[in-house]
Structure formats: structure tokens, C-alpha cells
A and B are shown apart, each in its own frame.
Chain A
Amino acid sequence: MLTVSNLTKAYNGRTVLTVPALHLPSGIHYFRGGNGSGKTTFFRTVAGLLPFSGEILLDNQFEINRDPVAYRMRVNYAEAEPLYPSFLTPRDLVGFVGKAKQSPAGQVDTLLETLGVNKFWTQTTGTFSSGMLKKLSLLLALLGTPQLVLLDEPLTTLDIATAARLFDYIRQLRAEQNVSFLLTSHQDISLTGLDLTGTWQVGEGVITAVTEQV
């Protein structure tokens, strides 16, 4: 599903992440590691948010730099600590992202219900709690028809009921549309009840396999 080759990411000349070769089969992958280990940098790089050296290939077909539009149509990302302009509402942001990601008809309504964003649909994000911001970021990351969704710390600040509905939805996407997920979490990942395809350790800018079921 995702193949990473010779990836090097540096900030101001200092290398923070090196991935010589990594192949992730379709499924749900859990990335663990301490603070500052490089998980978020890896996720942001795979999501196309950061420039890097190397190659990232989706489904042996879409390379992140050669096919920037097709790749980004299929890869979505939710921030660990989302932040949006305080004067915008979920309606504004979902309207824009949903159009760009070509969200199918009815999808927004389903996600609004699942994540409970419908309760503050026209409220400005400046009035949001961190949990409400998290719900909005998850909603944006599930728009369109992605093949891979990167969820950075999806459990943080999310209430238990919404988390349960979110993981049901993830299971449904996995079963019905073969969508793959990459997750990070500092909390007990077994709480999600998801069947993990692989677990990966990120530390000192290097990614190593802990368990992998291919």
C-alpha cells in the first residue's frame, strides 16, 4: 500500500528522520514512540505537508512529488493538535476541504452525525474546546475517498462516546472500502478495539518494525 524509499527529512540542515526502506501493506498500522521521536514529522511528510528527500509511493502507482494531486486525493491527515482561524466555522472549513477532496454526496452529513460536529456546525472555532477542534480535524481527515488516512493522536481530548463511534466508522471503512490507517497514540491503543496489521517503533529519527502481520 505505502512504500517509502531513501526518505530523509532535515530541519535547517539537521536530519531528524531517516527511512531507508519501509513497506506498509494495506491495513491499520500503529506507530509508537516517545515525545520528539519523529512520529508527527513522518506523518506530516507522508501527508505531503513537508518537503523531503526520497520517494513515497502509494499503491505502486502514485508518487507524492510526481503525482501531487492524485496522491493527495488518496491520502488524508488529521493533526495531533489542530488549530484553525478563530473566525471560521466547521461549515466554512468543511465546505472548502470537502470540495477539494471531492467528498461524495451525503458523506458530510454522516460524518457530522458520527463525530457530533453538527452540534457546533455554524459556531466559530475560536469558541471551541480542544475536543471540539479534534472532532473537526478528524472530520476533515475523513472527507473524500481516501485510500490512506493518517491519524496523529486521535484519542487525545476525544470523549469516550465519540471515540467509540469513530473507531466503528474506521472499522467500516476498512471492511467496506479497504481504507488503510496509520495511527499514533500515547494512550493504550487496545482501547480502540482495532485489529492492527503492524506496530512500528519510531525513535531517534528511525522507524523499526515491532510486529507485522503481512
Chain B
Amino acid sequence: MLTFLNRIFVGPFYARNAGTFLVIVLLAFGFLSAREHKALITAALGSPFLLAIVFVLWGLYLLKTTSFVRQALSAPEHLFLQSFWLVPNVTRYVLWLAIQIALLFPIIAYAGWMVQIATTYQKWDSLSAIVIYVMILVGVGAAMNDHRLRHPSPDTFRLPNFTFKLPYELFFPTYWLRHEPLSFVLTKAFSGLLLAGVCRLYPTDDYDQRLLLIGLLLAVLGHSQVGGQVSAFERQYLLFLQNLPLSWLQRFGRYVVTYGLLWLPELLILIRNCPAEIRLDYVVWLWLTGWGWIMLMHSLAYKYDVMPEGWLTGVIAAFVIGLLTIMFGLPVGAWLVLGWLGAVGCWYRSFTTRSLT
């Protein structure tokens, strides 16, 4: 039964969050060397405040996993999982613990590294705190999942329904906000904070516009999973879309509006934090470039069934190539043209190419 449950909860969780994991790995291990990272862990082991910050981040990750399990349990195609309730309590709870351990694996692995360093420096109090906290995370996660299984339709807080006719362009943003709120908040918070961060960093040293482009590249890659989410949402709930008499350009235009709305907060952040040395029109070009590249990722992800590991490889390759190209000084105008042309070209190609499957 564990194998079956892993296929329902664990595999899809990692597949869906592949993009987020990539960004975290890039941030945590790309910018910091192993030595710097070790120094950071040592500092956290010696400071209750820093350790508390680490614990808060792990708590947020726990919420992400339990939120995913809740969604999976309430999905119409998983209604049969209600019969899992009939499994004896102890067996069921043990299974939940195993699932939760698998979902929390990145945290447990990182905690293992911290424990190893804590042992070296004989920080027994921090070591105990980490071990106990990880055990609490696993236990609480399992308990939350089981509670949701036994209470399938709780009277929870719900966003009010709209009293106006919702246009198609808002279907996915509404779905994302209502049904995958943690993914929404994390994606937008990561992107927004990153762009604000590079804008604030710009005047502190002798940086040039390449710093802003690198920030934009990471913010765009932070949205890499959105195309797959849009595709999954429409394939599950809006099957009739493919039957509608809309040309490839009309369909593309609607997605342009949808992604423009989703990407709009970044424009406000860029304008608000625009460094004094940078012209305002440059950050607008920067934002338009990001919009184009997000559209390109949508065009690539929407029609093709890309395997998560393949997508992850593509995102890593895009990051490396993008970084090198930025460092060689490709201007924002060229990025803008490449992004939008690529988006339109890939979208058109996906509608004119037929396949058997």
C-alpha cells in the first residue's frame, strides 16, 4: 500500500515542485560555496535566533507538503482514497509517517548535515533541538494529513465568490490563488523579493545592468512551473477549450493577458525600487522581457508532455546559458526580441505540428 500511496502523494509532489526545488538549490548552493554554507550552518548552530529562522523555513515547507496532500485528498479523481480511512489506526498512522518522511526528505537530509556539523562542534543543545523539531514536523504533518482524511469537508475559511462574470483570462489566476495558494505566494514572493533585492543591491557597488538581468533571469525561472500548472488545470477542468473555434493567435493573446496580470506585481516592484542610476524606461523594458520569457516557457510547457526531470534539466541549462550570455553583455533589447519571438514561434509550432499521441 505504501508504494501506491507514494505514487499518489510523493511522486506528484516532487514533480509539481521541481521548479521551486531548482530555484532553492540554485540559491542555497549556487551562490554560496560549500565552505560558506558550512559557516552559515555553524552560525545557526551557535545562535538560537538563526536556528529559529531555519525552523520557520522548515515549518513553511511542512505547510507546503500538507497543503499538497490536502489538495490531493480533495481532488475528485482521488475520492476513492476515503477508503484509506478504513485501514486500522496504527497502520494508517505509520503509513502517513512514512509518506511525511518522504515528503520532508530535503529537510531531513539538510537536518542530517546540520547534525553532523553539530556533532563535530559538540553543539549538543542545537543538535537535540534539530532532532526533536524534525520529529515534531514529521508527526504534525502525519497528524494533519490524517485529520484531513477523517474530515473531508471541513467548514474552512473560503474566499468569497465573485458576483460578476469572471472572464477566461482570470480563470487560472483565480484557480492558483484559491487552490494552490502556497505555490502562488512562494512564486510571487520569491520573484518580487529577488527583483527588489537586486535593485537595492545595485547602488551599493560598481555593478552594471547585468546584475538586473541576472535578477530577472532568476525571477523568470522562479515562474518555470507555471506553464505546467496552467496546462494541468486546463486539461483537468477545461477540456472543452480544444473544441473552441479559436485560432492559435487568439489563444496566445488570451495567455498573454493572463500572464501579464500574473507578472504585473513585478512591474510595480521594479518601478518602486528602480535604482537612481537606471532610467525608468530600462526597467519597463526589463519587465517586458521577463513577460516574453515567461510566455516562452508557457509555450514550451503547455502542449508537450515534458517529464519533470527533463524540464528540470532544461531549466538548469537555461540558467547556465542565460548567465553566460548575460555576462557576455547581450543587451536587454535582444533578450526582449528573443523571448517574444521564441514564445510566438513555439506556440505556433505546437499548433501546427500533429502527433499520434
Mark A residues whose CB is within 8 Å of B. Answer: 8-13, 47-53, 65, 68-73, 75-77, 79, 83-85, 87-89, 91-92, 95-97, 100-102, 122, 124, 140
* A85 close to B355 (CB less than 8 A): no
User: Assuming the A-B contacts A51-B355, A87-B178, are A69 and B246 also in contact, with contact meaning beta carbons closer than 8 angstroms in the complex?
Assistant: yes
Contact between B357 and A76 (Cβ–Cβ < 8 Å)? no
Given contacts A47-B242, A72-B245, A85-B175, 4 further A-B contacts (CB under 8 A): A77-B243, A83-B236, A85-B171, A92-B171
A8–B354 CA distance with the chains assembled, in angstroms = 12
Q: Name which residue of chain B comes closest to A78, CB basis.
A: B240
Q: Can you name 29 A-B pairs with beta carbons within 8 Å? A: A10-B357, A13-B356, A47-B242, A48-B243, A50-B242, A52-B356, A53-B354, A53-B356, A68-B245, A68-B247, A68-B351, A69-B245, A69-B246, A69-B247, A70-B245, A76-B243, A83-B76, A84-B237, A85-B171, A87-B162, A87-B175, A88-B166, A92-B166, A95-B165, A96-B167, A100-B244, A101-B245, A122-B163, A140-B240
Question: Which residue numbers of B lie inside 8 Å of A, CB to CB?
Answer: 76, 161-163, 165-168, 171, 174-175, 178, 233, 236-240, 242-247, 351, 354-357
Closest 4 pairs (CB-CB, A-B): A73-B245, A72-B245, A100-B244, A92-B166
Please name all residues of chain A whose beta carbon is closer than 8 Å to the beta carbon of B174 when the two chains form the complex.
85, 87
Q: Assuming the A-B contacts A100-B246, A124-B161, are A12 and B357 also in contact, with contact meaning beta carbons closer than 8 angstroms in the complex?
A: yes
CA distance A85 to B163 in the complex (A): 16
Most buried by B among A8, A13, A87: A87
* Nearest-CB residue, chain B, relative to A100: B244
Question: In the complex, are the beta carbons of B244 and A101 less than 8 A apart?
Answer: yes
* Complex contacts, B354 vs chain A, CB 8 Å: 51-53, 65
In the bound assembly, the distance between CA atoms of A100 and B246 in angstroms comes to 7
CA distance A211 to B85 in the complex (A): 49
Cα of A166 to Cα of B239 in the assembled complex, Å: 22
A51-B355, A51-B356 known; A72-B166 Cβ under 8 A: no
CA distance in complex: A77, B239 (Å) = 10
Is B242 within 8 A of A49, CB to CB? yes
Are A8 and B356 touching (Cβ within 8 A)?
yes
Q: A83-B236, A88-B171 are in contact. Are A75 and B161 (CB under 8 A)?
A: no
Name the residue on B nearest A85 (C-beta). Answer: B237
Contact (Cβ within 8 A) A48 B237: no
Query: Judging by beta carbons under 8 Å apart, are A85 and B238 in contact?
Result: yes
Closest to A75 in B: B243
CB atoms of B168 and A96 under 8 A apart: yes
Q: B236 to chain A: which residues have CB within 8 Å?
A: 83
Instruction: Write the nearest CB–CB distance from A59 to chain B, whole angstroms.
Output: 15
| Chain B residues within 8 Å of A87, by CB | 161-162, 174-175, 178
Docked pose: A9 CA to B357 CA in angstroms = 7
Q: Smallest CB–CB gap between B106 and chain A, Å?
A: 30
- Chain A nearest CB, measured from B315 CB (Å): 24
Q: How far is the CB of A118 from chain B (nearest CB, A)?
A: 15
A13 to B356, CA, bound (A): 8
Kindly provide the distance from the CB of B206 to the nearest chain A CB, expressed in whole angstroms: 50
Q: How far is the CB of A92 from chain B (nearest CB, A)?
A: 4
Return chain A residues, CB-CB under 8 Å to B351: 68
Interface centre among B233, B237, B243, B244 (most CB of A within 10 A): B243
Chain A nearest CB from B216 CB (Å) reads 31
Closest to B76 in A: A83
Distance (whole angstroms) from the CB of A133 to the closest CB of chain B = 10
Contacts of B356 in A (CB 8 A): 8-10, 13, 51-53
Q: For residue B225, give the distance in angstroms from its CB to the closest CB of chain A.
A: 19
Please measure, in the bound complex, the distance between the C-alpha atom of A115 and the C-alpha atom of B217, giving whole angstroms: 51
Contact, CB under 8 Å: A100 / B165: no
The smallest beta-carbon distance between A121 and chain B, in angstroms, is: 11
* Assembled-state Cα–Cα distance A50/B243 (Å): 10
How far apart sit A88 and B240, CA to CA, in the bound complex (Å)? 14
CB distance from A28 to the nearest CB of B (A): 20
Closest chain A residue to B163, Cβ basis:
A122
Structural contact, A83 and B245, CB atoms closer than 8 A: no
**Docked complex Cα distance between A90 and B167 (Å):** 12
Residues in A with CB closer than 8 Å to B242 are 47-50
Which partner residue on chain A sits nearest B248 by CB separation?
A68
